[in-house]
Structure 1
């Protein structure tokens, strides 16, 4: 799904569910029933056999999605793997069963005291303790270009988790925008060290408003558009004080967030 998210070439959650099944609908290991033979109990040897319809059927029957993490070297907003597998499965279950599964994150970093949280609780914890943590932000600034890249990556994965699970709140988008984009000190750092990362973060958050993931943006959509206009003008060598007759939009489909 990373390609769809990166290139913004999806219109709704069904597109993401289809991608999840297309890439994950293969079976390996002991003999199992094939798509064609499932009704007459014939079996085949399994070596990467395509069984997408069976996989989709299994997904439609799930009620709970759980992910186990056995270390604290990284978190769920550190890598695209987490949202692609956990978020991807959650979204696929929602699409194919027309119900929302319960989603858990199991923390086994301390085997003697494992902790189970809902995915929403884990997202809240990571956003609060790392992404919005001034100590983490300051530490990332010490790494220049790479630090700015890590900030932008966290925004990407936050957006992708919301696209697949609908679990990021509007106020969290606003706090992320305030801390990483509109904070004067961090904005200057981004402009000096990795302006592309600043632009990518602004585009991703603007996309969240356009897709209805960030519903009540309190005017942040307009602020993000203004920022992108300024960035574009600087890239083109235009005086940002001049009136530039252009508009800014991110080329996305329409996916309305369901808050029921």
Structure 2
């Protein structure tokens, strides 16, 4: 069993699906909610006995969004209470990973000078998010600005945005060292998806939060965690896929699907811009999570940038989209994330230079 799991908690999805991520957080730790008869409000948490659970209690760290913090404060309290309850149980540490980690870290903090109560409280924070009043994760902005060199740079930005502890006694206190400790313990990251209206490639929010967490684990732990996506868009058939499987599913099903591309073309300027977003977001996922393969970049180059019909259409409706696609692909090659074929690289460089001149003329 994994000792530690990192989970992304968004407000919109949990409001829509009645708290699937909250339920998963609780169940991994070995808790279930207690509902008030009639109103069905959650009024308490009940510890599931180990004899019934039949597995160890898994340590869970939740990275909440700013909207989750603002619209579901009650859930934040329940999640924090869950971690404290489980850590306080008198159980063997090999069957209670929450207690195991809290005991270890609290001991270290006491040695550094904290009193016992403060050390225990600091070691038991498991809910982290944005600074009070802020929204976002920082990852997308730093990647879009090209203002990074290594995975450690991305992790540092993710920490600055997300290392604010929430729960009893802390309404967003910045605790970077505590957050780094949590990220360094994570064996598995997971994000639940409950609809098909957007995907991990259609916008950068997924990579902003989830990819940022993976980058932080890679940086602070020194190894890649296992990464999964839980798809409950069809609640009668919930499916679990690896992040790589999920990427290839959307890459083949939408990004490279001729019918999908034809549909995007009907939207002119906006359609071209959205196709450019697919390329940019794929690159960003690769930067945080190392999941793109050479053939995928080659497909983007051939289908989106070097195809003559696509070039003609984009130059007519949105040449800036074609410029962005070419620029992102060349950046991926320059950073060593893609070993491009020599002829592909040369064709992209020639296209980029020609687009630079064309856009400059249009600007004038």
What is the match of residue 255 of structure 2? 131
Q: Which residue of 1 aligns with 2:149?
A: 11
**What are the residue-to-residue correspondences of 1:1-260 with 2, within 5 Å?**
1-30=139-168, 45-237=169-361
Q: CA deviation at 1:3?
A: 1.6
Q: Which runs of 5+ in 2 are unaligned?
A: 1-138
* Rounded Cα–Cα distance in structure 2 between residues aligned with 1:83 and 1:235: 30
In the alignment, the residues of structure 1 paired with residue 291 and residue 326 of structure 2 have an alpha-carbon distance, to the nearest angstrom, of 20
1:211-249 alpha-carbon deviations (Å, 9 max, x no partner): 001024343222111001111232345xxxxxxxxxxxx
Q: Which consecutive aligned stretches of 4+ in structure 1 deviate over 4 angstroms post-superposition?
A: none
TM-score (ref. length: structure 2) = 0.60
Structure 1 residues 236 and 111: alpha-carbon distance in aligned structure 2, compared to 1, 3 A threshold? closer
**Matched length:** 224
CA contact (8 A) 2:319 2:359 kept: no
**Which protein, 1 or 2, shows the higher relative CO under an 8 Å CA cutoff with sep ≥ 6?**
1
1:7, distance to aligned residue in structure 2 (A): 1.1
Does the residue aligned with 2:148 lie in a helix, a strand or coil? coil
Question: RMSD between aligned alpha carbons?
Answer: 1.3
State the secondary structure of the residue aligned to 2:339. coil
How far does the alpha carbon of each residue in 1:191-227 deviate from its partner, in whole angstroms, 9 at most, with x for none? 0000011001100000000000102434322211100
**CA 70–226 in structure 1, closer or farther in 2 if over 3 Å, else same:** same
Gap change, CA 1:100 and 1:236, over 3 Å in 2: closer
The answer to whether the 8 Å contact 2:283/2:328 transfers is: yes
| TM-score normalised by L of structure 1 | 0.83
